[in-house]
Structure 1
Amino acid sequence: MPPATAPRPASPLPDFCGLPALFAILLVGALAVTVMWLAPDTRFSWRGYSVAMAFVAWLAMLETLALCKARPRLERLSGWMPYAGVWLVIVLVVIAASLAGRWLDRVLGLALVDGGYLRFARANVLVAALLAAAMLRYFYVLGQWQLRLAAAAQAQVAALQARIRPHFLFNSMNTVAALVRVDPDAAERTIEDLSELFRAALGEQGGGDDTLAEEWALVDRYLAIEQLRLGERLHVHRELDTLPADFPLPRLLLQPLVENAVRHGIQPLREGGEIRLEGHVDQGMLVIEISNPLPPAPTPRGNGQGLDNVRQRVAYRYGARARVEAGPVDDRFLVRLRLPTSGGRDG
């Protein structure tokens, strides 16, 4: 089994290459122009307001482009230096755009800009420097909060895994103890399967991913152990051929769900039943369904900790688009995972 891959640390800077960044810069500039236009004793006319808004739109596009190109280099800096670099890029772009705009106004004879080159550039730089400092302070505080949140979530994932592991290992050890006396060969195979489960359960902390194929292999080993214990009472139906085998999946995400299906759907039934493992890809979402028969009489379902753990791990790993749905459907209990095939949180 490959070693866990540590999640990539979050970037200290926002993404300047998308439309949200362009819209944010444009909005801040437009608000600044509007406030100056509405201020008492302003000399802004409708014509001046329109020219200023056009200049702000042009400036926002230049700044977004410059920040997008400079972001990879700025991110190599440490501490607060990336934000200082962003502030400097904004100021330099404003200086260059102001001088270029004043030159074009003079060459074309439009008379849209009052004052000389230095006066026009100085006024624009002063406003841009103050606004940029306020915005970057906000982004710095937001970035620090996101880093602390990611660290807390990572610690929570480790704690969730630690709570899941003893649950299935205890049951599996009981199965091995029973098989040693009646079927040594089966006990040997079971120990081999159990060793792989131990290897996965005692692997590195940190929420590293396995592939979907590796997770199904662990599920198969667990079901092999339960098959020896339950015999003909346990039937497994699989429809998984269309799923991408290399899809990244958090370690031990599926096994607790299958264990719950065996414990609450097969064990209470004298005649046993069928566990269904099905999956497909639908509109950019990987859908995994695990279902078991519902016993005729209600059975204790525990405190739901295993399913809650899975929900939290899925939400942390895949973000808001992912879903974990669980509940009775006709005469079966169904757990459905809907995971985005692209755009996962870890990237």
Structure 2
Amino acid sequence: MKAAIYRRTGPAAEVLSVEDVETPEPGAGEVRVRITGSGVNPTDWKTRAGLTGQDPETFQIPHQDGVGVVDAVGRGVDPSLEGQRVWLHLAAFRNRWGTAAEYAVVPVERAVPLPGDAPDELGACLGVPAVTAAHCLLVRGEGREALRDRTVLVAGGAGAVGHYAIELAKHAGARVVTTVSSEEKAELARAAGADLVVNYREPGLIERVQGFAERVDRVIEVALGTNLELDLAVAGAGTVIAVYANEPDDPVIPTRRLMVANTSISYVLLYGVPSDELAAAVSWTGDAAAAGALSPLPVTRYGLDDVVAAHEAVEQGAVGKVIVTP
């Protein structure tokens, strides 16, 4: 099969190549998926660049997310899964067979059924962004039902995680306010269902958000240091600020202000989420997709041979989702 591979970390143009490798066979508890679309996330290029760990022991096929059809199952896996359309998450986590290839082999729990009427674009967009959003919304251990009639602030509502945080929160019955940096991104956030969209580059940001809600129950945060004043302005007893991204410099945390407000910060990195909490987030994402509550991000497609350009596009902050098609 053809696959994108890197054997050492570094710049995309220097370490990524497309090669013919032996098609893998699924082991016990695994499925093999014929990939029809491979989603590229910031975590994918950061791992390939060497920002999150060491070089691969042998080789690595990148990309955590994807969509395709199960074409073989390993020992102990229900054979009726063959032929099932699925979306993949964490495919390349502790596994060399990521989705930037014609086939990927993953543990069966990382391949989730995709509704028959859902487009491939949606399946390739889920995974890390949607599951991260779901976990951020559920991070206190409450069920999704607890979000009904609550208020959620989503920072960066046009981003991948922000998009699905809006859609999942609305699907659960919450009110959602979100921040964006341009009118183009505001349109994306409105299309996702946000009740109020505020351009954070314009004056009066805090006042406009407070006009919508003096207190929010949950903040889905992409830039804690940058947005901390806004978050604290609308935080109160029981507010949880769920942070899923880091910044070049660690922010100073105002412990006393958080203590007085009885507000907590929860840090989210999907790779370390306990298995039961991860399963809950995956289950909710799958249920929401089956209910038609989730939509694809704007998609930019690249062929597998152009995987270097795809990585560079994501590094440069491409809006929407970059998908590599084998």
- TM-score, normalization: structure 2? 0.24
Which structure's CA Rg is the greater one?
Answer: 1
More strand by share: 2
- TM-score, normalization: structure 1? 0.23
